[in-house]
Structure 1
């Protein structure tokens, strides 16, 4: 199946990628060029639904998307610029300036590349520099910091030439009269990135063909109703489930009266839930029939593996009736799906910081991951036990226990109270600090 690739970057590099990309008949490349990196998010929002994979013509637009769009799920690849790409720039400097870099020692400023990579390239070419200034890109400061870095050194007469890896920075330096050269990706690095795109495509295809098993559990299906009312309710429920089955391309099995199972593929399930961000099935059931239900979705390479994961997800959903959770093949938990916030966390971690936090708090790594994901999702670290209970799909008692443990280990602090709308004792407001 052909892959559609959205290529985002400056016009010259995008054109070069398209030129090389024509040698890959299995790829359909969509050009999306910008003048400055600030346009990246707008371009992506405009074209993302038409592409399977996003290919960035450099590291900076890739970093912008990673930083700003935390929930973006489509595979992304960027064309790297390494120290070896300096060879062409240095050769161009010799041609255009007539400077013998073997005998003269220039003063150079360079951005984005690692200093060790730059020095290694200079050593291999036996080029000595009188001064070498290297600046990393900081996404919070933007590309303007890079322009200032080079221009400030030029005004102080500390450099003879500036080398940048960013097209917009190069254009601005030329406007300011700074002798500048742009590092652009080599053809070999573009070929390597296109090969990486093909690998991502194969991974995407394999993921889409994973089995997805869903289990819906009904809680009040046997309410005291007349036989006719039960039949009417059941017919409405069947129609809702059939509509969902058609949308998710699923096979339905309702042999167990209290549960309904369905089988589909991962790709169809991700499309039906908008990549685990929304599912209307449970709300439709509650509104149209008055039946409370919860849903667990599991992914696996086999039906048995998917069933086990679905049961894990269902057990979490049972704690918060009306919710849906999904358990991924790698242990990642998605949910509650369809709520105003969405958690995505792993039940394990090899991150030393998270392991250290778990030990300090005397909680599991999975709980720490859940707390971090929850605080990130709501954009707030001040919560009550009731809010934490609803957010994590646990009992209020368990939420109070977690907050108490965090407080004892100085990872949470009582910062105030919240008076319930109805009568009752004020709820303590905790501020969680897992930074």
Structure 2
């Protein structure tokens, strides 16, 4: 299947890029997008992301358009250098018979401009250069040329933007447009194809994700129903996670779960591993870890995932590590301090109050996390009962215990969904004052 490349730029640039892209016709399919002004590029990218694989942009001034579009697709900016300037100077000197000693030049690096002039044996004493950065407003480039020409400091203006060239010409200011050389375009197209093929290969790699909940089969205070119920809840969370990344799910024993997918599918979803760890922590307070492995085969991916899991288990509870196809280890994938459910607290006052209420630190941190997920900075007994799979009566006991110790407060009531008394709304404090 050919790679679809969206080409964005003024008509002359798009036509030239398309012409050279014909050399790559076996691998590349060109989808042209022509604009009158660079500001149109953002909308073009946003509307056409599903129709192309990557973007080729006619110049560095389009960098901000890519960022503003929010696209995650790869993009490649054509660059102008000394060779591009030389091509324009040939047009000025040989075709139009004009001098290019008193000129204004935008976007190009001063180094490239001065080295080009030096190589041609021309003085740069009256050459004015306005380099471009991603923060440079395009209007500044137009004002730069107009001011110098109006003050009589330059005779011609050389710009890398077609829109500025046209506006200068509209004001009867002699202007020339610098365009990428064929060599620039060819190099950019080759780089785009190579990087796309490398990335596409990586995206297709197999990913194995292993979750291990330690001690489920050994837990003394669990009867068989509680154990199976907890295991089924974890299975449900893993099934939902597997579906979100288009993966296949396997339960290979009590508390051990494996999901196979592709690297690309996992990368497309943000914070999935972190969210999964938080969900598992809601279900059980047993130490849980995740190992992720990439590989060209399922066996290689699983071996790397087991290695990653070993690193996670040696690091701390509720952490995840990754081992890629090169054996490189990354982790922990989530900083331990940001995990929603801590199993310790250094606040002695909180610790003593929880002890007085008969509530564990683990349960307290889970309640805080549920409150955060519910939103609005509040929580009800029904919320806790639903998330922690306990009776509403037990959930009320926990909240009322926190209220008695000054760790939570009642802030209101809400009407019940069925007949009964109004439900109290609580706010659990993150910090004690």
| TM tier relative to shorter chain | 0.5 to 0.7
Structure showing greater radius of gyration is 2
Q: 1:112 to 1:282 in 2, by over 3 A?
A: same
Say which SS state the counterpart of residue 166 (structure 2) adopts. helix
Match of 2:13 in 1: 13
Q: 1:142 to 1:123 in 2, by over 3 A?
A: same
Displacement after TM superposition at 1:184 (Å): 0.8
Match of 1:422 in 2: 429
Q: 1:250 to 1:147 in 2, by over 3 A?
A: same
Displacement after TM superposition at 1:298 (Å): 3.6
Q: 1:77 to 1:218 in 2, by over 3 A?
A: same
**Matches for 1:24-423 after TM superposition, within 5 Å:** 24=24, 25-62=26-63, 65=66, 73-94=72-93, 97-99=96-98, 101=99, 106-128=101-123, 131-218=126-213, 227-228=224-225, 230-231=227-228, 234-235=231-232, 237-238=234-235, 240-242=237-239, 244-245=241-242, 248-271=245-268, 273=269, 281=276, 295-300=290-295, 302-303=300-301, 304-312=303-311, 319=317, 321=318, 335-336=333-334, 389-390=337-338, 422=429
Q: 1:65 to 1:290 in 2, by over 3 A?
A: same
Whole-Å Cα distance in 2 between the matches of residues 41 and 257 of structure 1? 51
Asked whether the equivalents of residues 304 and 323 of structure 2 are also in contact (C-alpha less than 8 Å), the reply is no
Asked whether the equivalents of residues 203 and 264 of structure 2 are also in contact (C-alpha less than 8 Å), the reply is yes
Asked whether the equivalents of residues 321 and 329 of structure 2 are also in contact (C-alpha less than 8 Å), the reply is no
Displacement after TM superposition at 1:128 (Å): 4.1
Displacement after TM superposition at 1:94 (Å): 3.1
- Larger deviation: 180-189 or 11-20? 11-20
Q: 1:139 to 1:78 in 2, by over 3 A?
A: closer
Q: 1:221 to 1:331 in 2, by over 3 A?
A: closer
Asked whether the equivalents of residues 298 and 310 of structure 1 are also in contact (C-alpha less than 8 Å), the reply is no
Whole-Å Cα distance in 1 between the matches of residues 340 and 430 of structure 2? 25
Say which SS state the counterpart of residue 255 (structure 1) adopts. strand
The Cα offsets for residues 110-169 of structure 1, whole Å up to 9 and x where unpaired, read as: 111122222332334444455111111132231111111111111111001110112222
Q: How many residues are aligned here?
A: 345
The TM-score normalised by the length of structure 2 is: 0.66
- Larger deviation: 120-129 or 153-162? 120-129
Match of 2:352 in 1: none
Q: 1:228 to 1:392 in 2, by over 3 A?
A: closer
Whole-Å Cα distance in 2 between the matches of residues 174 and 248 of structure 1? 54
Asked whether the equivalents of residues 10 and 33 of structure 1 are also in contact (C-alpha less than 8 Å), the reply is yes
Q: 1:164 to 1:51 in 2, by over 3 A?
A: same
Asked whether the equivalents of residues 296 and 315 of structure 1 are also in contact (C-alpha less than 8 Å), the reply is no
Q: 1:211 to 1:54 in 2, by over 3 A?
A: same
Whole-Å Cα distance in 1 between the matches of residues 344 and 113 of structure 2? 56
Say which SS state the counterpart of residue 34 (structure 2) adopts. strand
RMSD (Å) for aligned C-alpha atoms: 4.0
Q: 1:424 to 1:196 in 2, by over 3 A?
A: closer
Asked whether the equivalents of residues 305 and 322 of structure 2 are also in contact (C-alpha less than 8 Å), the reply is no
Q: Which consecutive residues of structure 2, in runs of 5 or more, have no partner in the other structure?
A: 347-406, 408-427
Asked whether the equivalents of residues 208 and 292 of structure 2 are also in contact (C-alpha less than 8 Å), the reply is yes
Whole-Å Cα distance in 2 between the matches of residues 84 and 182 of structure 1? 14
Q: 1:50 to 1:83 in 2, by over 3 A?
A: same
Displacement after TM superposition at 1:424 (Å): 5.5
Q: 1:294 to 1:178 in 2, by over 3 A?
A: farther
Whole-Å Cα distance in 2 between the matches of residues 176 and 277 of structure 1? 56
Whole-Å Cα distance in 2 between the matches of residues 14 and 278 of structure 1? 42
